[in-house]
Amino acid sequence: MAFDIPHMRRQFPFFAANDSLIYLDSAATAQKPETVLAVMDDFYRKGNANVHRGMYELAERATALYEGAREAVRTFIRARHSDEIIFTKSTTESLNLVAKSWGKAHLRKGDVVVLSILEHHSVIVPWLQLKEETGITIEWIDCDDEGRLIMNDLKKVLAGKNVKLVAVSGQSNVLGVRPLVSEIIKLAHQSGALVCIDATQLIAHHPVDVTELDCDFLAFSGHKLYGPTGIGVLYAKREILKTMPPFLGGGSMIEEVRRDGFTPADPPHRFEAGTPPIAEAAGLTAAIDWLVQFPWKEIEEHEKKLMRAAFETLNGIEGLHILGPKNPDEASACVSFVLKDTHPHDLADILGQEGFCLRAGHHCAEPLHKRFSVPASLRLSVGIYNTEEEIHRLGPALKRAISLLKK
Amino acid sequence: MDLYAENILDHYRSPRGKKLLKKPTIEHEEVNASCGDSLTLHLLIKEDTIERVGWDGTGCAISQAGMSLLTEELPNTSVEKAASLSPTFIRKLLGVPVSERRLKCALLPLLALRNALRTAKKQPLLTWPELLEEDNA
């Protein structure tokens, strides 16, 4: 499919309904193409039935739709087996599952979990909770002023022997930097530690091949991939999943329930208690099918142009400071910035009145903002559907907002 | 009317009373953790009446202008009356429409004041949900 942005935008009902908006918040959630909406609507209108064990054709079709999504995700991230794909409600739940099932079962007081300073709260907090519960140790890998993780920090921590897991983002939701995950995985494995990748941001902007990466866990969600909210994915290696106890208890996750106990089902269903997000799974399949019609090379080239336009626009504004990368090619799909004497919330509010959708705050990455000594920042993030022209229009709007707030 | 009305911007650009007192009777800091805004409030109380107000803080135009506006209102107000000031009072004081997303910015000065007075009486601090509930009442 040729890379034609106006043609592509016409496939998104959101843009037709909001033709005066400039949406620069895809890192928070991406817009959805018509095919995603249609398949979900169709399921509820015509095919609604619960999955698994329904002895009628409609239930079988719902099961096929749901299990088909597992296969679509497996192909998309190049996992070896579809039973390595677990559906959750969000990346957050996927990451909690790793800490609360694998972490709780395998880690003891004194074991070390390594986090990078780039991490989102959903990566950080579950391990801090486990620290409170069992006394594991958390070690942090810092970054330099351009957001590059300091690999020597990692090597030093790994030399300490007790490291059981390294949790790292594939692409920062604040700085847009992509840590060297392949290298991190190799180093961690040499020390016998597992690696959990938060691919929430990466997944819509770069091909992910879990087999080639050899990561042990990888999490992402549907709604940042042009799919629906309410569905998340956890990939984990088959042999690791086998060692993990259930996370939530309920229907679907059991093999047998007795008065005195239960036998859990095998993965992946062991980790999918309750009625799963069926319509959302269908929507996720549609989103993947929609995205893969475009070659990754073209997506990445287009988004690189957008980031160059963003840096050019932002660097043209006096008193504006970009957090992290100096080179736009190191910032994938998002860039965060601060302005001297001007609060990000005021700017985002005033820009919002002009139709620009940008996010202000700490973007669920408080340790990273503390690292850069700022309480909050303004973030510009892009999706496949944005244009350079939209980004260039932000420049004058930002200048108007700044002059309004000028002291 | 717009949130960034001239009166709000005037108080934001030239905040009134933005100077800590040398010998406050009460001092209290309040923060809005969701955006990092902070206000430190100093009150000089004489005979159960607020005599002078001083403050310092960082944050957005709404929280800072709101604190400035409140500072002008407080001198010669009884402690009892100040402790009963409501979110509705702040909304009127700001005189601009405050949307849900900016409500905590607008109410930070009030939370600072109410909790400063509670601290002095060794009462438990008012929480955000409690204050927001008052706004809905």
Distance CA A335, CA A345 (A): 16
Give A127-161 pLDDT, tens digit per residue: 999 999 999 999 999 999 999 999 999 999 999 98
For chain A, give the longest Cα–Cα distance.
Answer: 71
Rounded to 5°, the CA angle A217-A154-A134 comes to: 60
Contact flag A349-B102 (C-beta cutoff 8 Å): yes
Distance CA B65, CA B12 (A): 4
Give A278-322 pLDDT, tens digit per residue: 999 999 999 999 999 999 999 999 999 999 999 999 999 999 999
ipTM for the whole complex = 0.83
Which residue(s) pair with A16 in the sheet? Answer: none
CB of A348 within 8 Å of any CB in chain B? no
Portion of chain A with pLDDT greater than 70, in percent: 100
Contact flag A349-B3 (C-beta cutoff 8 Å): yes
Residue B86 counted as domain residue:
yes
Minimum-distance CB partner of A343 among B34, B61, B101: B61
Minimum-distance CB partner of B36 among A349, A375, A405: A375
Residue B74 counted as domain residue:
yes
Q: Which residue of A has its CA nearest to B10?
A: A407
How many domains are contained in chain B?
1
Give B12-53 pLDDT, tens digit per residue: 999 999 999 999 999 999 998 877 789 999 999 999 999 999
Strands, E assignment, A98-191? 112-116, 137-141, 163-169
CB contact set of A118 (below 8 Å; sequence gap of 6+): A143, A147, A149, A168, A169, A172, A174, A175, A177, A179, A365, A368
Give A377-386 pLDDT, tens digit per residue: 999 999 999 9
Asked whether A22 and A356 are in contact (CB, 8 A), the reply is yes
Q: Which residues of B touch A375 (CB under 8 A)?
A: 35-37, 58
Contact flag A407-B13 (C-beta cutoff 8 Å): yes
Contact flag B60-A407 (C-beta cutoff 8 Å): no
pLDDT over threshold 90, residue B137 = no
Q: How confident is the model at residue A105 (pLDDT cuts 50, 70, 90)?
A: very high
Domain CATH number, residue B62:
3.90.1010.10
**pTM for the complete prediction?**
0.93
Architecture of domain A49-291: 3-Layer(aba) Sandwich (3.40)
Question: 3-state DSSP helix/strand/coil percent for chain B, to nearest 5?
Answer: 45, 20, 35
CB of B60 within 8 Å of any CB in chain A? yes
Task: Say which range, A335-344, A353-362, B26-35, has the weakest mean pLDDT.
Answer: B26-35
Q: What fold is seen in the domain A5-26+295-405? A: Aspartate Aminotransferase, domain 1 (3.90.1150)
Q: Which residue of B1, B3, B4 to mutate against A (max A Cβ within 10 Å)?
A: B4
Give the three-class secondary structure for A351.
helix
pLDDT over threshold 70, residue B1 = no
pLDDT over threshold 70, residue A1 = no
Asked whether A350 and B12 are in contact (CB, 8 A), the reply is no
Asked whether A35 and A11 are in contact (CB, 8 A), the reply is yes
Q: What local confidence, expressed as pLDDT, does residue A184 receive?
A: 98
pLDDT over threshold 70, residue A14 = yes
pLDDT over threshold 90, residue A53 = no
Give B85-127 pLDDT, tens digit per residue: 999 999 999 999 999 889 999 999 999 999 999 999 999 999 9
Distance CA A21, CA A35 (A): 22
CB of A353 within 8 Å of any CB in chain B? yes
Contact flag A360-B12 (C-beta cutoff 8 Å): no
Q: Which residue of A345, A349, A377 to mutate against B (max B Cβ within 10 Å)?
A: A345
Distance CA A235, CA A141 (A): 24
Residue B101 counted as domain residue:
yes
Question: Is residue A364 annotated as a catalytic residue, yes or no?
Answer: yes
Distance CA A272, CA A264 (A): 11
Q: What local confidence, expressed as pLDDT, does residue A374 receive?
A: 92
CB of B105 within 8 Å of any CB in chain A? yes
Q: Which residue of A has its CA nearest to B64?
A: A343
Minimum-distance CB partner of B35 among A376, A404, A406: A376
Distances A216 to A78, A212, A213, B58, B98 between C-alpha atoms, Å: 13, 11, 9, 43, 47
Buried b (16+ CB within 10 A) or exposed e, A49-70: bbbbeeeeeebebbbebbbebb
Strands, E assignment, chain B? 26-32, 37-46, 49-58, 77-78
Quote the tokens at residue A255: 């093999």
Give A152-196 pLDDT, tens digit per residue: 999 999 999 899 999 999 999 999 999 999 999 999 999 999 999
Q: Which domain, by its residues, includes B74?
A: 6-136
Residue B81 counted as domain residue:
yes
